[in-house]
Amino acid sequence: MEDSDIISQARAGSKGAYRELLRKYSGLALAVAYARTGRKDMAQQAATNGLVEAARELAALPDAAPIAPWLASIVRSAAVKQRGGARRGSFTFEEAKNKVQRVLAESDSLAPGMKNELVLAAFGALSDEAREALCLRHLYSSDYGNIASAMTAEAGDTDKLIAGAREQLAEVVEPLFPSRL
């Protein structure tokens, strides 16, 4: 179903329009929320809150309006409220790189889950926009055009943002996976 059909049906009071919104966009909402909160439980709650808010407002959306950027904006706000307004990332890239180097220097083998913790620290050091673009690409499996639409950006800019984020992550986590990168 096209976005304009979803909006038209919502205006007519169709409950099916809300189900279609959930079917078509719940993955996008979860990816955006996770990128902004960094925690599965918080992301699920923020995505739910955003989708509920969107369902309330859907009938007021103009017929020709694209739903993805509108919904992403609502979910971003819900995620910021969910995390209490604080910035999500706790590390800079230098701090993340130093932590990886320090952990590797202090231990011959990493404790279970430590690689994941270090990768998440690097992920948290990315900008909100870079995390969101990566989550939309890899969690929601969006193509660059859909990511750009959700982020109200140009597809080429989104491509550059994702490439840059991948390079930053690789720079930090490369020592963890020397034979794989």
The pLDDT tens digits of the residues spanning 131-151 come to 999 999 988 888 888 899 999
Looking at the predicted structure, is the pLDDT value of residue 126 above 50?
yes
The residue among 100, 96, 82 whose CA lies nearest residue 32 is: 82
Encoded amino acid at 90, one letter: S
- 3.20.20.80, 3.40.50.300, 2.60.120.10, 1.10.1740.10: which CATH number matches 3-82? 1.10.1740.10
Q: Which two tokens stand for residue 156?
A: 């080429």
101 near 175, Cβ under 8 Å?
A: yes
- Count CA within 13 A, CB hemisphere, residue 172: 27
pLDDT tens-digit series, residues 11-34: 888 888 889 989 999 999 999 999
What is the chain's alpha carbon radius of gyration, rounded to the nearest angstrom? 19
In CATH, the number for domain 93-176 is 1.10.10.10
pLDDT in tens, 44-79: 999 999 999 998 998 888 888 899 999 999 999 999
What does the domain layout of the chain look like in residue ranges?
3-82, 93-176
